Amino acid sequence: MNGFFFAFLPFFFCFIYNFPSQVNQGIIALFCFRYPRILAATVEVERSSISAKDTEKIMKFLIVDDNETSAGLLLNYLKDSGECHVAYSGEEALNTIQSAMETGDPYDVICLDIMMPIIDGIETLRTIRELEQSTFNISGRKSAIIMTSALDDIKTIMRSFKEMCDGYLTKPIKKRDLLDKIDQVKLRTE
């Protein structure tokens, strides 16, 4: 954002200019003139603070559920909150997550069902956390993972948290509960 701003105050003329420097940073110079003296001040700021609204990131969601109805319901709940993708198996989810990590744009939130064939949700969760520690995750960011399951026994819930999920919701899931849980887990993972 290069530009000029002039302000006229009694006996003062102010001139502001943004000198570009490194990526995401700039030098803002403020020169105030009061006849016959010149006062000058320079402040270094991050460019993102100047135009934070223009650089807000859209949240990226992955819904992992082998049941199309359940996946569709969560997709309907989240579609207005960000970019949504769906995987219908643990294997498909792991491929999608690894690909996102390799491009430096991992998922912000993953909604993960537990009861899936071949690779269940707990094993998928464990593998996601291993991938986040690997060299595939070039951004170094960790996804918030919310387990979404019909299982409500304490043993399954505790096992999910032991494998480092960030939240747990029992089906049937209400939209408000899901959005509240996303807010909670995003605050903890940021």
- Residues 90/124, Cβ–Cβ less than 8 Å: yes
- Residues 101/132, Cβ–Cβ less than 8 Å: yes
pLDDT in tens, 61-96: 999 999 999 999 999 999 999 999 999 999 999 999
Dig out the tokens for 141 from the structure: 């960011």
| Matching residue, tokens 């502001």 | 16
C-alpha 130: how far from chain center: 19
β-bridge pairing 59-64 and 109-112: parallel
Q: CB neighbours (10 Å) of residue 106?
A: 25
Query: DSSP string covering the chain, please?
Result: ---EEEEEETTEEEEEEEEE-STTEEEEEEEEEETTEEEEEEEEEEHHHHSGGGGPPPEEEEEE-S-HHHHHHHHHHHTTTEEEEEESSHHHHHHHHHHHHHTT---SEEEE-S--SSS-HHHHHHHHHHHHHSTT-TT----EEEEEES---HHHHHHHHHTT-SEEEESSPPHHHHHHHHHHHHHHH-
Q: CB neighbours (10 Å) of residue 158?
A: 11
Q: CB neighbours (10 Å) of residue 176?
A: 9
pTM beyond 0.75, yes or no: no
Q: CB neighbours (10 Å) of residue 3?
A: 7
Ordered per-residue pLDDT tens for the chain, 190 residues: 444 444 444 444 444 544 444 444 444 444 444 444 433 333 333 333 333 333 456 899 999 999 999 999 999 999 999 999 999 999 999 999 999 998 989 999 999 999 999 999 999 999 999 999 887 777 788 999 999 999 999 999 999 999 999 999 999 999 999 999 999 988 766 6
Dig out the tokens for 170 from the structure: 């029992």
pLDDT in tens, 133-150: 887 777 788 999 999 999
